[in-house]
A and B are shown apart, each in its own frame.
Chain A
C-alpha cells in the first residue's frame, strides 16, 4: 500500500508498540501531526509547553516503563530545544527515539527559515542519528532507530526527516512485531570463574552497582548474589531503587554526597565488585587515590566502560543479569562476621555524625521545624511503594537520594549524568503517562523555576502529581560550595524572588499550599495525596541547610566532610 512518509512514521511508531508520544508541532512536521490527528485513537500525542519538557517526558516515560520513549519536534528551534533532553538521556542510558522535521531537501544547507543541522548537533549526544532523504528508506531507518535505542546499553537515537520526505509516498508493509534488539553478549565462563575465585578468597568484598542493574533487570540476581556471599552493597545515584533501601546489606549511595558508611566501607574493602556502573568522577573522587586499598572486578554490558575511568583488575563484558545468575552458582555461600561487625560500626558512626551535623546546622531545633529530611519523611509516609519519585537537580535531589525509602526498581527518576535542572516536571508527566502510577516530584525553587511552565501540561492531562518544592530562596548546591570554598561570596545564588508558587499553581489550574512547619506539611500532604490532581506544596527550608556528607570534587574519603560548624 502506498502512503505518505508522514503516515509511514505514524504507522511505524504504532508497529513498534508506541502508545504515547510527546512533542510540539511546527511548520516542518505539520504533515506528521496531520497523520497523528487521523490516528489519534491508536496513538496518543501529549502536547507539552516546551520541547525540552517533551524530551524529558519521553525520558521519564522510558525510565518508568523500560520502553522506548518517543519525542517529536519541528525543525530549527524545536529541534535545538530537544538537545538538553537528548543529552540527558544519553548520559543516563535511557532508550529514546527523537523525531525532528527539517526543511525540504532542496532547502537544506541554505540557512533556510528554521533550519539547523540537528544531526550534526546531536552526533556526540546520541547513540546514533539519521537524516532520511529518501522516503523508501524511512520505515527501515525508524525500525533501526528503535533497535539501536534499546540494544545493549540503551540510549537516544535521533531521526531527522525533511518535509518533502514526509509528503512523498511509498509502499508500507507493517511488521507483525516490534523490532528485536541486537542479541546480548554474554560474559566469558573463564572470566566469571576467575571473578568467583577472587570473591571467594577475599575478606571484605563490597558491591558497587549502578543503573545497569535497573536497565538490565537484574535486581533479583543482585540481591541473591549479595545475600549468598554476605557482601554489602553501595550504589551510584543511577543505581538507586534497584534494591529496596531497607535491605540489610544495602548501605546506600556512595561518592560525593553518598552515605558515610557506604563510602568508607568501599574504601576499607579489599575487593570492589562493580556491576553496571561506570565509576563517574562523582563516585570515585580523585582517581589516583580511589582504589588504593582494593582490587576491582568490573562487569558491564558496554565494553567501552571497562577500563575507561578506572583500570580494573578483572574486566568482564556481558549482560549483567546473566553474568550475575551464573556467578551466584560459582561463589561460596558464607558469612563474614568480622566485616559485618565493621560495617555495623560504620553505620553507627554514620548515624551519630548525621545527628551531630543536623544539630550544628539548625539554629532552631524545635520538633516542628521543617528540615529537608523531615519533609522527605513526612511525604514518604503518604506514598505507596509503586509511586514514582522524580527529582530535579540540586540539594533536594541529593537529600531525596539519601533519605527516601525506595522499594521497587524504576520508581526513582533523576538526572544523574547530566545534572539537568528543570528535568523533573517533564519527567514526572512522562512517567505517569507510561506507568500510570501516582508521581511525586521533589524539586527546589531554582530547578522548578526552569520548567514550571509544564504545570500547564500536567493540569491539561490531569496527572496525579504532588510537587514538593524545597524552597530555600537560594541555589543551595552552589551556595553550599561558595560557603565552603569561596569565602561565602554568594555570587548570583541568592534568589529571594517574589514568586508566589501557590498563586503560580493556581494560575495554571492546580492547587497549592505554602507550609512552614511539619504540622502544616502533614495537613497539606493529606490534602495533596487525596486530591488526585496536581498539588504544589511550597516548603520553607533554611538557606543554610547543607547536603552532607560531602567529598569535595577531586577529593577522597580522607577529606569527607560530615559536619559544618
Chain B
C-alpha cells in the first residue's frame, strides 16, 4: 500500500466538505489527513487529502470524486514533484532541567518557540510529515502537554497548476 496525496478543487459552497469526506466514509476508504482552505479564486476551495491504498483504490477514489457535482478538478500529486508541508503547534513541559535540551532540539529542527511560560513552551514547526513525526517523537521525552497539527497541504513544483478548466 502506498500513500497518495491528492489535490481537489471544489466549489466554495455549503456542504462541500461533507460531500467529499462523506464519499470516503460511504465507500469505505480511509483518510489519513484532510485539509481545506481558500484558493486564488474566490469561488473555489482546495482540499488536500492523503490516503493509503493500492492503485485500484486510488483509481476508484479519483473517479468517485470526479462524479461529485461540486468537485471541479482532482489530481494526484506525485511526491517527487510536489512540495508538501504540515504545520505543528506543540506544547511541551518547561523545566530548568530540560529547557536547554529542548532549545537545542528546536534549533536543530528549525522550529520556533512562539510562547514561553515557566511551566510550558509552545513550539511551532513546519515541514514534511516525516520531520514533524521525528520532532514529536523527540519531544515525548520532555513531556508533551498538548499538540495539534494541520495535516498536509501540497502544491506541485514548476509551472503546472491545479486549476479549474
Contacts and interface: CB of A to CB of B under 8 A. Distances in A.
Contact of B66 (A124, A303, A307): A303
**What band does the interface of chain A fall in when counting residues whose beta carbon is under 8 Å from B?**
10 to 19
Contact of B15 (A123, A302, A306): A123
B69 interface: yes
Contacts of A302: 67
Given A123-B22, A124-B22, A148-B69, A308 B14 contact: no
Pick the most buried of A124, A127, A131, A148: most chain B CB atoms within 10 A of its CB. Answer: A124
A311 B19 contact: no
Interface in A16-55: none
Interface string A281-314: 0000000000000000000001110111001000
B19 A123 contact: yes
A307 B56 contact: yes
Interface stretch (B29-37, B57-65, B128-136, B138-146): B57-65
Interface string B8-41: 0000001100110010001000000000000000
B59 A119 contact: no
Nearest to B26: A124
A120 interface: yes
B63 A119 contact: no
Contacts of A307: 56, 59-60
B63 A303 contact: yes
A69 B125 CA distance: 55
A127 B14 CA distance: 16
Contacts of A136: none
Interface in A101-140: 119-120, 123-124, 127-128, 131
Contacts of B18: 120, 123
Interface string B44-82: 000000000000100110011011111000000000000
B95 to A, nearest CB: 46
A316 to B, nearest CB: 14
Given A123-B15, A123-B18, A123-B19, A128 B60 contact: no
Pick the most buried of A120, A131, A303, A306: most chain B CB atoms within 10 A of its CB. Answer: A303
Contacts of B70: 128
A304 B70 CA distance: 16
A311 B57 CA distance: 12
Nearest to B64: A304
Nearest to B23: A124
Interface in A317-365: none
A490 to B, nearest CB: 33
A381 to B, nearest CB: 44
B63 A304 contact: yes
A139 to B, nearest CB: 18
A152 to B, nearest CB: 9
Contacts of B67: 302-304
Contacts of A131: 14-15
Contacts of B68: 128
Contacts of A306: 63
Contacts of B60: 304, 307-308
A128 B26 contact: no
A497 B118 CA distance: 78
Nearest to A307: B59
B55 to A, nearest CB: 10
A303 B69 CA distance: 14
A412 B49 CA distance: 43
Contacts of B66: 303-304
B73 to A, nearest CB: 15
Contacts of A311: 56
Contacts of A128: 68-70
Given A119-B15, A307-B56, A311-B56, A127 B63 contact: no
A119 B70 CA distance: 14
A131 B59 CA distance: 31
A97 B60 CA distance: 27
Contacts of B59: 307
Interface string A410-425: 0000000000000000
B45 to A, nearest CB: 17
B31 to A, nearest CB: 16
B123 to A, nearest CB: 38
B78 to A, nearest CB: 21
Contacts of B64: 304
Contacts of B22: 123-124
A354 B106 CA distance: 79
A307 B63 CA distance: 10
Nearest to B65: A304
Interface in A151-194: none
Contacts of A124: 22, 26
Given A304-B63, A311-B56, 10 more contacts: A119-B15, A120-B15, A120-B18, A124-B26, A128-B69, A302-B67, A303-B66, A303-B67, A304-B67, A308-B63
Interface of B: 14-15, 18-19, 22, 26, 56, 59-60, 63-64, 66-70
- Minimum-distance CB pairs A-B, first 7: A304-B63, A128-B69, A124-B26, A304-B67, A303-B63, A304-B64, A123-B22
14 contacts: A119-B15, A120-B15, A120-B18, A123-B15, A128-B70, A131-B14, A303-B63, A303-B66, A304-B63, A304-B64, A306-B63, A307-B56, A307-B59, A308-B60
